[in-house]
Each structure stands twice: as structure tokens, then as C-alpha cells.
Homo-oligomer: A and B are copies of this chain.
Amino acid sequence: MSNAGGQSQPPDQGFRDAMRRLAGSVTVVTVAHNGERHGTTATAVTSLSMAPPSLLVCFNRDSRLHGLLSTAESFCVNLLHTENVAVSKLFSSPVSSAERFASGTWHDDASGGPYLEGAQSSIQCAKEQQIDYGSHTIFIGRVLQVRNREEISPLIYCNGGYARAAVLSGDKK
């Protein structure tokens, strides 16, 4: 068994390999800017605090959305459902913003970015802070408004592909 008790790896390649082993929900983060819709997929999203309700999302400074988030007052984090694979693919492809929003039914929202009908959850956030670190920036959003889809089946990205969460039997050790 090659396992974590085994040989250590240098940080660069080892960390890339480790991040293939980190499973996470796929999201599309959106911003409205001058009447236009913008958005991109992101998996570096996590809950931050419940008091106040807040989350954070990390973006590479070279990414298309980074500049818009840097000046935005608000943004929307759309957690994707397993039915939203096509949306995920489109928002991580090199097409224009207008073409990206052609898949799925998107609604504008005065309180933040566009939200996707049928998403697992859509979370409107006020941008509270941004912290630069290395090649990326952490954007902290205070939650303003949430829409949840009742059926729970989040779209997961893991090991370079899409997955769903399959419940483990309760007594598994």
C-alpha cells in the first residue's frame, strides 16, 4: 500500500497530487458589472463563520473574474447540483461571458450576482474583505440572501473529474 505513512514528496508536485485528492463542491461565482453578467467556476470555496454568516472564495489573480471581484460590492456563489454539469463545463471553458450564461436559466438579482435556477444553492454575498496571498486573493463574503434547492445532490470535483456524493453505510469504520 502506497500511503501517507510512506515517502514524503517535495511541496510543489506533492501538493498538486494532494489537491486531486481533495473533494469539493463545484460552484459558479457570478458578478454583475455595468449591466453585464460575468462568472466562472470555482472549487476553492468554504464556509467561514456563522456569526455573521459568511464564506470565502479564492481566485487566481490571473483569472478573468479576479479584477471584477476586486471592485465588486457583491457577488453570488452558486453551488452546483449534479444536474448542472453542462453549466460547470461551460463556465470553465474559454468562451465569452455572454456565451457562458446561455446554458441554464439565470436570473438577475438586485442584491448581487446572477443566480442559476435549479442550482443546489445560490448565496448572495456582500464583499467584506480581500486578502492577497501568493498568486491568489481570498475574497470574504457576508451572506445576504440564500436560495436552496430541496433535493440534496451537490456536484463534486475530485481527481480531475465530476462526482456525486454516495452515502457511506452508517456503521462503516
Residues of chain A having any CB pair with chain B under 8 Å: 1-12, 14-25, 43-54, 56, 58, 60, 78-79, 82, 85-86, 105, 107, 115-123, 128-129, 131, 133-136, 138, 140, 143-152, 154, 156, 158-159, 161-168, 170, 172-173
Contact = CB atoms under 8 A, between A and B. Distances in A.
A138 to B, nearest CB: 7
11 contacts: A4-B116, A4-B117, A4-B122, A4-B147, A11-B53, A18-B79, A19-B47, A22-B79, A49-B58, A131-B138, A163-B165
A163 B168 contact: yes
Given A166-B164, A168-B82, A154 B52 contact: no
Nearest to A122: B4
Given A118-B4, A120-B21, A144-B11, A54 B133 contact: yes
Contacts of A14: 143, 145-148
B21 A133 contact: no
A49 B172 contact: no
Given A21-B152, A53-B15, A146-B17, A4 B48 contact: no
Contacts of A121: 4, 17-18, 21-22
A46 B46 contact: yes
A10 B145 CA distance: 6
